[in-house]
């Protein structure tokens, strides 16, 4: 196991230069597995933000005039650089975020694939010609980059949350100020470094850290910024969307979820247990599309609970750098406190614990993978996104009832179903109020497929061709007599 000694101190990246912040030189970065300080992160003050805004304005002028083909080539180079550094970046990510090394490596490699996808999309931003009503008129539609973007990304996937926003923006010809996650800044900075080393002109991507509310309240209304993209909680997202609305800024919001996973009476039970237990505890449950309300047909319920509980008990929890560890610590102390509170509340409402339920040790933010049954709807966990390794399992008796329960919450991000029946699958996917539906497997979050929610889970897409829409304006040009 490598020592944390080589963990980098993280600086701001503004106008092509890494620099200390004018607010604080070095707030501590903690390793969530040990609670030890492993590095520092610079905090931006107002003068850094002004410098980043000026740089983004200049960067936009430069980058929006670079041809799509050249943007494509540079982005492909950045992807190759990131891929080449994947082992080193993954280790840094595990040290600061806690996830098992294999997950960190997968995230870094997937980020390189995301850059490749958006690089290719840069070359496909086609406009169109609309047949005119008069012979001497030409009507065309062109897609133009929306302008400098302010992007805000969280700590659960330090690279992947950032790479989608930054790469779609760059593919469209936009410049970016990225406010990265203060608790997991180094792996996010490694993404920016890959772009720097690929030769991205100064000012096109700028990276800042600091007090999130101070930065968002300054950047969102600022006239240089033309587009906002945020990933995080619904509460914060609503505030930022309101602020953006007051200033008529384009917005993408990728917010919380509380994904129902329905196991119908005709499901492949073993497959459902295996897939759902794997997905639920990935990244210690700190995933917006995590299956978080398991709804199981009453005829399979007991067997499912037994199988799921057994699969959960098999999960080896520990330091993400250690061999064989499947679940690391939670990323910060807030999640441990939230797991304790949600579990205690469910038990107080009469829920039963089949496994887990407690913090592990008193060093590091470890919490046992936890399964609850007989949880009444009045318990908080049935309505609040857990964002951690605690999951309720509930029985249902009819398709109508389970779809109604699945749609009960204001969230609508991801939904899952296990069934061998085309009728169940079709009915579920048609009636579920959700931005994404995955049936009999977990097939979400690929670069080439749409990614986003509805209702309180936000709006806009961060994957597929749809993701480019957020970063382009449509311009209609009609010309007569030429
Ligand atoms: P939080 O709600 O304070 O922060 C969530 C994210 O938003 C963080 O990255 C934070 O830096 C950012 N943020 C907070 N206030 C902001 C502001 N005023 N302006 C700009 N950015 C701001 O809480 P937290 O403890 O970090 O996370 C708790 C909850 O956030 C979780 O329960 C989960 O629901 C949600 N979350 C969602 C995602 C996701 O992938 N959708 C990721 C991380 C956290």
Q: pLDDT tens digits for 394-429?
A: 999 999 999 999 999 999 999 999 999 999 999 999
Joined tokens for residue 94? 């595990």
Joined tokens for residue 447? 């670069």
Domain membership of residue 21 as a residue range: 12-255+458-477
Domain identity same for 37 and 154: yes
pLDDT in tens, 258-292: 999 999 999 999 999 999 999 999 999 999 999 99
Domain identity same for 184 and 280: no
pLDDT of residue 5: 47
Task: State how far the alpha carbon of 407 is from the alpha carbons of 260, 262, 403, in Å.
Answer: 8, 12, 6
- Give CA torsion, residues 46, 220, 229, 49, to 10 deg: -20
pTM: 0.97
179-216 core/surface letters (b: 16 or more CB in 10 A; e: else): bbbbbbbbbbbbbbbbbbebebbbbbbbbbbbebeebb
pLDDT of residue 2: 38
Domain identity same for 301 and 191: no
Could you say which DSSP state residue 374 is in?
A: S
* Candidate list 121, 288, 385, 462, residue with the active-site label: 288
- CB distance 231 to ligand 1 below 6 Å: yes
Domain identity same for 27 and 174: yes
Closest CA to 210 of 343, 463, 408, 12: 12
Joined tokens for residue 190? 């490694």
pLDDT of residue 41: 97
pLDDT in tens, 417-468: 999 999 999 999 999 999 999 999 999 999 999 999 999 999 999 999 999 9
- CB distance 154 to ligand 1 below 6 Å: yes
Residues 6 or more apart in contact with residue 196 via CB below 8 angstroms: 13, 16, 205
DSSP 396-442: E--HHHHHHHHTSSSEESEEEEE-S-HHHHHHHHHH---SEEEESS-
CA 215 from centre of chain: 20
Of 180, 188, 216, 232, the residue with max ligand 1 atoms within 8 A of its CB, to mutate for a pocket test, comes to: 232
Q: How confident is the model at residue 217 (pLDDT cuts 50, 70, 90)?
A: very high
User: In 261-300, which ranges are continuous DSSP H helix?
Assistant: 269-281
Domain identity same for 210 and 222: yes
CA of residue 231 to ligand 1 center, whole Å: 7
Domain identity same for 132 and 21: yes
For the chain, percent of residues with pLDDT exceeding 70: 99
Q: Which CATH number does the domain housing residue 218 bear?
A: 3.40.605.10
Domain identity same for 164 and 281: no
Domain identity same for 290 and 215: no
pLDDT in tens, 173-216: 999 999 999 999 999 999 999 999 999 999 999 999 999 999 99
Q: How confident is the model at residue 3 (pLDDT cuts 50, 70, 90)?
A: very low
Would 167 be classed as within a structural domain?
yes
Domain count, the chain: 2
456-475 core/surface letters (b: 16 or more CB in 10 A; e: else): bbbbbbbbbeebbbbbbeee
Would 113 be classed as within a structural domain?
yes
pLDDT in tens, 73-121: 999 999 999 999 999 999 999 999 999 999 999 999 999 999 999 999 9
CA of residue 457 to ligand 1 center, whole Å: 13
- Residue entry with tokens 């980043």: 52
Would 299 be classed as within a structural domain?
yes
- CB distance 238 to ligand 1 below 6 Å: no
107 a catalytic residue: no
- CB distance 316 to ligand 1 below 6 Å: no
pLDDT of residue 59: 98
pLDDT of residue 73: 98
CA of residue 210 to ligand 1 center, whole Å: 14
Would 7 be classed as within a structural domain?
no
Element (H, E) at 263: strand 259-263
Whose alpha carbon is nearest atom 42 of ligand 1? 232
pLDDT of residue 6: 79
Domain identity same for 130 and 199: yes
Q: Which CATH number does the domain housing residue 375 bear?
A: 3.40.309.10
- CB distance 233 to ligand 1 below 6 Å: yes
- CB distance 255 to ligand 1 below 6 Å: yes
Domain identity same for 389 and 274: yes
Return the SS3 of 233. coil
pLDDT in tens, 286-336: 999 999 999 999 999 999 999 999 999 999 999 999 999 999 999 999 999
CA of residue 212 to ligand 1 center, whole Å: 9
pLDDT in tens, 142-184: 999 999 999 999 999 999 999 999 999 999 999 999 999 999 9
Would 266 be classed as within a structural domain?
yes
- CB distance 232 to ligand 1 below 6 Å: yes
State how far the Cα of 381 lies from the Cα of 347, in Å rounded to an integer. Answer: 11
Domain identity same for 372 and 424: yes
pLDDT of residue 114: 98
- Label residue 148 left, alpha or beta by phi (over 0 means left) and psi (-120 to 50 means alpha): beta
Whose alpha carbon is nearest atom 38 of ligand 1? 232
pLDDT exceeds 50 at position 53 = yes
Q: What burial class does residue 433 get, using C-beta atoms within 10 Å of its C-beta: 0-12 exposed, 13-18 middle, 19+ buried?
A: middle
State how far the Cα of 437 lies from the Cα of 169, in Å rounded to an integer. Answer: 26
174 a catalytic residue: no
Beta bridge partners of 41: 10, 27
Contact 148, 175 (CB under 8 A): yes
State how far the Cα of 158 lies from the Cα of 31, in Å rounded to an integer. Answer: 14
pLDDT of residue 1: 36
pLDDT of residue 10: 97
Would 3 be classed as within a structural domain?
no
State how far the Cα of 338 lies from the Cα of 359, in Å rounded to an integer. Answer: 11
pLDDT of residue 449: 98
Would 1 be classed as within a structural domain?
no
- As a whole number, the mean pLDDT across the chain is 97
Phi, psi of 317 (to 5 degrees): -105, 140
State how far the Cα of 448 lies from the Cα of 275, in Å rounded to an integer. Answer: 22
Q: How confident is the model at residue 23 (pLDDT cuts 50, 70, 90)?
A: confident
* Candidate list 96, 107, 254, 385, residue with the active-site label: 254
CA of residue 449 to ligand 1 center, whole Å: 24
Domain identity same for 294 and 162: no
State how far the Cα of 57 lies from the Cα of 455, in Å rounded to an integer. Answer: 33
pLDDT in tens, 63-74: 999 999 999 999
């Amino acid at each position: 196991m490598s020592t944390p000694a080589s963990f980098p101190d993280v600086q701001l990246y503004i106008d092509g230069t890494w620099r200390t912040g004018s607010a604080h030189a070095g707030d501590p970065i903690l390793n969530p597995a040990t609670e030890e300080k492993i590095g520092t992160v610079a905090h931006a003050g107002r003068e850094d933000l002004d410098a980043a805004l000026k740089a983004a304005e200049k960067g936009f002028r430069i980058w929006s005039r670079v041809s799509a083909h050249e943007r494509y080539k540079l982005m492909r180079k950045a992807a190759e650089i990131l891929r080449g550094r994947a082992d080193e970046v993954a280790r840094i990510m595990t040290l600061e975020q806690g996830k098992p090394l294999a997950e960190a490596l997968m995230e870094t490699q997937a980020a390189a694939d995301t850059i490749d996808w958006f690089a290719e999309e840069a070359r496909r931003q086609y406009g169109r010609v609309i047949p005119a009503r008069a012979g001497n008129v030409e009507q065309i539609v062109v897609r133009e980059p929306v302008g400098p973007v302010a992007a805000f990304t969280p700590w659960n996937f330090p690279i992947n949350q950032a790479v989608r926003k930054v790469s779609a923006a760059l593919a469209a010809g936009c410049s970016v100020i990225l406010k990265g996650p203060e608790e997991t800044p180094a792996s996010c900075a490694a993404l920016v470094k890959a772009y720097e080393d690929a030769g991205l002109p100064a000012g096109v991507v700028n990276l800042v850290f600091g007090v999130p509310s101070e930065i968002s309240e300054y950047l969102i209304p600022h006239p240089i910024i033309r587009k906002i993209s945020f990933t995080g909680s619904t509460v914060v997202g609503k505030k930022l969307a309101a602020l953006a609305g007051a200033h008529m800024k384009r917005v993408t919001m990728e917010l919380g979820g509380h994904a129902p996973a329905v196991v119908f009476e005709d499901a492949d039970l073993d497959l459902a247990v295996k897939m759902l237990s794997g997905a639920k505890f990935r990244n210690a449950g700190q995933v917006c599309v995590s299956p978080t309300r398991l709804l199981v047909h009453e005829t399979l319920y007991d067997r499912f609970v037994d199988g799921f509980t057994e699969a959960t008990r098999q999960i080896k929890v520990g330091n993400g750098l250690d061999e064989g560890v499947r679940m690391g610590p939670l990323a910060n102390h807030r999640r441990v406190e939230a797991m304790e509170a949600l579990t205690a509340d469910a038990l107080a409402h009469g829920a039963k614990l089949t496994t887990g339920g407690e913090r592990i040790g008193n060093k590091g933010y470890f919490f046992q993978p936890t399964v609850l049954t007989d949880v009444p709807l009045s318990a908080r966990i049935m309505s609040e996104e857990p964002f951690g390794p605690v999951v309720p399992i509930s029985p249902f008796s009819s398709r109508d009832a389970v779809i109604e329960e699945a749609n009960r919450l204001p969230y609508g991000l991801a939904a899952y179903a296990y069934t061998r029946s085309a009728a169940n699958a079709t009915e579920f996917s048609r009636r579920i109020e959700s931005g994404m539906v995955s049936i009999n497997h977990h097939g979400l979050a690929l670069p080439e497929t749409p990614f986003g929610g509805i209702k309180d889970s936000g709006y806009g897409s961060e994957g597929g061709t749809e993701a480019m829409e957020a970063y382009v304006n449509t311009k209609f040009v009609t010309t007569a007599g030429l």
